[in-house]
Amino acid sequence: MAKLFIFGIGGTGSRVIKSLSMILASGVSLGDNIDEIVPIIIDVDKGNEDLTRTIEILKNYEAIHSKVASNANYKGFFQTKQTNLYPISGNEYRLTIQDVQGKTFGQYIDYQTQTGAQKDLTNLLFSGNQDDKGKPKPLLDMDMAIGFQGNPKLGCVVLNQFKGNNDFDTFAANFVQGDRIFIISSIHGGTGAAGFPLLLKNLRNADVPTPNSALLRSAIIGAITVLPYFQLKDGDIKSADFISKTKAALQYYLKNVNPSLNSMYYIGSGSNTHNYENNKGGTAQKNDAHFVEFAGAMSIVDFALQSDIMIASQGNRFLEFGIDDFTNGIDFSVLGNASNGIIKKPLIQYHFFKMYLDYQLRKSINCQPWSNRGKVKITKDFINPTSGFYQILDSFNKRFGEWVNEMALNDPHFTPFNQDAHLLNSISNNPPKDSFMNFWKTNYSLFDDYLNAAERNIGNTTAELKFIELFNKATSNLFTQRYN
Amino acid sequence: MKVTTILLFILVFLFSGCNGQSGRKKPLTLATAINKPTETLSKPTYNIYLENSGSMDGYVEGVTEFEQAVYNFLVDIKINSLTDSLNLYYINSKLIPNPPDVKDFIEKLEPNTFKIKGGIRASTDISEMFKDILRNTNANCVSIFISDCVFSPGNGQDAQYYLQNQQIGLKGNFASKLGQINLTTVVMQLSSKFDGNYFNQLNQPTKINAQRPYYIWLIGKHDYIVDLFDKVKKENFKGSGVQNFYCAYNSTKSFEYGLLTSPKLGYYDRDKSSPKNKIINAEKSDKGTRKGEFQFSVGVNLKSSLLDDKYILDPKNYAIPSNYSIEIVKNSIANYNYTHILKLTTRLLKTENISIQLKNNLPQWVTELNSDNDIHINTPEQLGKTFGIKYLVEGIYEAYKAKKNIKEKDTFLEINISVNQ
Amino acid sequence: MGTIYCWLQSLFGQDLAEHLWGWDMSTQDYTKPNQFNTLGLYMVVLSFTMVFIFYYIINHPRFNRWWSWLIMLLINAGLNFLYAWLITLSDLSNNFISDDLMYVRDVSTNEIITQKIIESNCIYFGITNAIIASVFFILFSFAFRWWSKNCSTCPFPN
């Protein structure tokens, strides 16, 4: 089985990868072709809060996966393997753009040493100012530590360093026949808009000394371009410029990008009244999760599910994301059958899982047979603060909760779950089916009932795996019998 | 832990397999005794034999208790429809039939009538009389013999030698009859005014006017005798009433008995599989004035034993283990089918099988009323006695003994109780 | 079954025990039906049923603590108490008990000296039945709980 290398460029790339992690955590399968993803985030803005959150989530996911999915036949939450290529602490999951820390753009291009015609060209290309706290600042003086702040022309220059980049070489060395590549970028941002075409070019034109260059040239590559889907409040970056920049980029892609791709996905959202805070980057750039990112992650799933034959040819597969009327918010009832077929059951399962952990776990632990029956028991020690596994799972779930809440509050509202309702009624527009036999077991007692039943089918195994498997089975049965 | 399941199944199975009585009727531990004859007996013939030797004249002179008692007895027999055929005889050396009119019979009880009726009245050969009576007694017949039972050796006979020979003769006759039919013999001693001549062993007459004993014998099948006493109670005899009593029979029947829960001292359970004769968990009493003693009670139904209370209630008539003492009381508790209750007490309680036997002894009165020498009859101690009565009764006693089955012990009743601590 | 009951005989009295064994005064033997068998059978069946109901019918995640089990045990004990008490009380009131077990009578006068079986004997027999039923309830619980979905670790895990 093959790997899928996912390049997430810029803030959008981080957030889509985050959504993907959540989706994979809920147990969505990437089909028979892909069994492992390798997220590689490319962002100059190292301190970006989105990036930081995403990295934390990826690390937690990896830790949980290693405990539960050691058996190749494992199916359920955290099923898909997710690998980090870059072992140096602090650099996990990131392809480092060299030589930008602590430099302005001018310093990066050695503006000071330029003379004559070169200098004139530079001035021509890179004239203009960027607003910096209300005052104009020349582009050449922009501090690159926080990215390109909506200026692709700067990114084009800086990011054109894949060839020879150590981290890129590491990636190439791990690429084998059958592996695929997917690139996430936003069309209007700074880093993404510039980086995507450059990366693609470096892949399709890979050559020695880049390892496996022949494979890279002929690799199956998919990409998603995320069109504008949010506005910014007034500030240094002008979201009004987004549309014009989009058009310019698309024009370029038509000739220089599209023909090289096996699959090209587009997504965006026109109406957006939810204005984000106008933060250029750094720890303050923390955009709320958005449904578009969720849909973007779905495109990756779609890409992985296609057979090689389906997507062998280049330059002729273009996809958009369809949805029913969403003026009243998006939930499972307006997602199409195709999407629901992939995501509905797993996501609901994970949602139930999280609800149980939040509201019922401490009450039931040690009191129910799922916890205290069999050779392997789930004890209070398992969930106390000093235990490793549960704490990682708990912090992952906190992020999951944030992700769901942010998407619910964003515009359009993605509200698959009603957080105020009781367990069984917490799926929006989807009440549970009546059950005669279990009329007197409701909500969490029903859940415990399913867990206790599931315990019977779990053999001798580790506590962590048993724990996850209990919920795999219980939530699956709960969904199948009461919601399907 | 599945072991517990299996264990439990075994437990439940074991205990639900009823060990013991679940309505299944257990046979009574002893052969069924009868209080009354269970089958309707056909009515026997009653043959009444009244001795009319000279020695009897004194009983019928005038109106005597003798006449009253005999008359009343015969009337009771008739009233209770014990028989359809009542035959009256005089007897001495031969049987002299009389008309069956009882009233007439009694009215004619006078010395003169005795004389007129004939026979050899001078002496009494008791052995011969019994022989005649026995010959006339068959399975459907009850013989009643009324006599003073005084032997008459006569002058010139050695009295002892005579009495012994008589005894042997009686024994032989009875034994022989018993070999053919299993008969029961009962003797009741009454007394009456005697006004007349008493002929002693030397055949010398002495005129006396005093209370003298006389005897009423009954010979017949056991069931008839029981039936008779059921209807004609001993207590209802007129005149002196029945003062002493003896019965002899070889019964194949046993008497019903069973352990009772009270009266008792200490504690015991009746074994569930044989509650009538097996005690388990016996413990001595540990409080009260009789601390340290153990007592259990056995109820026994002696209704058809024909034995009288005097005999039954006498502890001396019982053979019991040396560590026990016995007390017998009459039972008035209506709910028990027992006539008497035997209370056995011990201070030395141990696990053992106890045998309680009501011995078939010759009653004391036979010895007490016996006289070996009646020459001086007119003395207070002799007047109440009967010459040779002991030999008479003993002869019959021995006949019965001889005819017992070897394995039968010489007891009326044998009770075996198993005492277990 | 009677053997089990008779271990606790001292609670409810030997005389009531004899009656239940089937003592018939007229035959001076145990010829009446042995009520211990019927009583015991009902007790075993009832206890088993209560265990079955708890572990397999109710079988509820919120009713699987040790005190839930205790409640069922007490209900079982209560039902068995009632049954045994009422049966013996009815025998007592309807004069079905042999006179020689009921009373100690004076041998000479046939008068009643003491009454051996009274209502409190019936109550104690009810209690005895409750105790024995509880024992069976416990045994059945441990024997049969293994397959219960929600209650197999009740009253305590193995």
For residue A23, the one-letter residue type is I
Is C158 domain-assigned? no
Q: What is the pLDDT of residue B31?
A: 38
Is C4 domain-assigned? no
Dig out the tokens for C84 from the structure: 């045994």
**Which among A39, A27, A28 has a CA at the least distance from the CA of A3?**
A39
Find the closest chain C residue to B275 by CA distance: C29
Q: How far apart are CA A61 and CA A22, in angstroms?
A: 9
Find the closest chain C residue to B337 by CA distance: C26
For residue C155, the one-letter residue type is P
Q: How far apart are CA B393 and CA B185, in angstroms?
A: 10
Dig out the tokens for B388 from the structure: 């040779």
Is C125 domain-assigned? yes
Task: Say how far residue B233 (Cα) sits from the centre of its chain.
Answer: 14
Q: How far apart are CA B16 and CA B11, in angstroms?
A: 8
Cβ <8 Å between C139 and B26: no
Q: How far apart are CA B46 and CA A322, in angstroms?
A: 128
Which residue carries 């590549």 as its tokens?
Answer: A181
Q: Is A363 on the interface with C (CB under 8 A)?
A: no
Residues of chain C neighbouring A452 (CB-CB closer than 8 A): 61, 149-150
Domain of residue C103 covers 12-147
Find the closest chain C residue to A456 by CA distance: C149
Residue C110 distance to chain B (closest CA, Å): 4
CB A25 within 8 A of CB A65: no
What Å distances lie between residue A281 and A40, A210, A392, C123, CA to CA?
19, 32, 28, 85
Cβ <8 Å between B15 and C40: yes
Q: What are phi and psi of B369, to 5 degrees?
A: -90, 0
Which residues lie across from A135 on neighbouring strands?
A132
Is C119 domain-assigned? yes
Query: How do the pLDDT tens digits run along chain A, 484 residues long?
Result: 799 999 998 888 999 999 999 999 999 999 888 989 999 998 876 667 788 889 999 999 999 999 888 787 889 999 999 999 998 888 889 888 777 677 777 777 777 787 788 888 888 777 777 766 667 777 777 776 666 666 777 777 777 777 778 888 899 999 999 999 999 998 876 677 778 888 998 899 888 888 888 999 989 999 999 887 776 677 666 666 777 777 878 888 888 888 888 899 988 876 555 666 666 666 666 678 889 999 999 999 999 998 888 888 777 788 888 787 777 788 888 888 888 899 999 999 999 999 999 999 999 888 899 998 888 888 888 888 777 899 999 999 999 999 999 999 887 889 999 888 888 889 988 888 887 777 788 889 899 999 999 999 888 888 899 999 999 999 999 999 888 7
- Residues of chain B in Cβ contact (below 8 Å) with chain C: 1-2, 4-5, 7-8, 11-12, 15-16, 18-23, 25-26, 28-29, 256, 258, 260-263, 269-270, 272, 275-276, 299, 329-337, 341
Domains of chain A: 2-102+145-322 (3.40.50.1440), 105-142 (no CATH), 337-482 (no CATH)
Q: How far apart are CA A179 and CA A221, in angstroms?
A: 9
Which residues lie across from A223 on neighbouring strands?
A183, A264
**What is the interface pTM, i.e. ipTM, of the complex?**
0.84
Residue B322 distance to chain C (closest CA, Å): 26
CB A467 within 8 A of CB A378: yes
pLDDT tens per residue, range A245-265 = 778 788 888 888 888 888 999
Cβ <8 Å between C100 and B11: no
Q: What are phi and psi of B273, to 5 degrees?
A: -85, -20
Residues of chain C neighbouring A367 (CB-CB closer than 8 A): 64-65
| Rg, Å, chain B Cα set | 26
Q: How far apart are CA A410 and CA B80, in angstroms?
A: 121
CB B247 within 8 A of CB B238: no
Q: Which residues of B42-75 are buried (b: 16+ CB within 10 A; e: fewer)?
A: eebbbbbbbbbbbbbbbbbbeebbbbbbbbbbbe
Q: What is the pLDDT of residue A141?
A: 75
HEC sequence for B317-345: HEECCCCEEEEEEECCCCCCCCCEEEEEE
Q: How far apart are CA B59 and CA B50, in angstroms?
A: 12
Q: How far apart are CA B31 and CA B37, in angstroms?
A: 14
Residues of chain C neighbouring A440 (CB-CB closer than 8 A): 60
Please report which helix (H) or strand (E) contains residue B210, including its range.
strand B205-220
pLDDT tens per residue, range A96-124 = 877 767 777 777 777 778 778 888 888 87
Q: Is the peptide bond before A136 cis (omega within 30 degrees of 0)?
A: no
Extract the runs of DSSP E, i.e. beta strands, from A154-283.
Answer: 180-186, 220-226, 231-232, 263-267, 275-276
**Which among B276, B69, B93 has a CA at the least distance from the CA of B188?**
B69
CB B311 within 8 A of CB B366: no
Q: How far apart are CA A20 and CA A435, in angstroms?
A: 34
CB A235 within 8 A of CB A228: no
Subunit partners of chain C (3 or more CB pairs within 8 A): A, B
Which residues lie across from A131 on neighbouring strands?
A136
Please report which helix (H) or strand (E) contains residue A402, including its range.
helix A388-409
Q: What are phi and psi of A178, to 5 degrees?
A: 100, -20
Dig out the tokens for A461 from the structure: 């195994």
User: What's the start-to-end Cα distance of chain C, in Å?
Assistant: 30
Going by pLDDT thresholds of 50, 70 and 90, the confidence category of residue C125 is very high
Task: Say how far residue A466 (Cα) sits from the centre of its chain.
Answer: 27
Q: What is the pLDDT of residue B155?
A: 73
Residue B186 distance to chain C (closest CA, Å): 28
Q: What are phi and psi of B229, to 5 degrees?
A: -70, -20
Q: What is the pLDDT of residue B125?
A: 82
Which residues lie across from B33 on neighbouring strands?
none
Q: How far apart are CA A128 and CA A143, in angstroms?
A: 15
Q: What are phi and psi of B411, to 5 degrees?
A: -135, 155
Domain count, chain C: 1
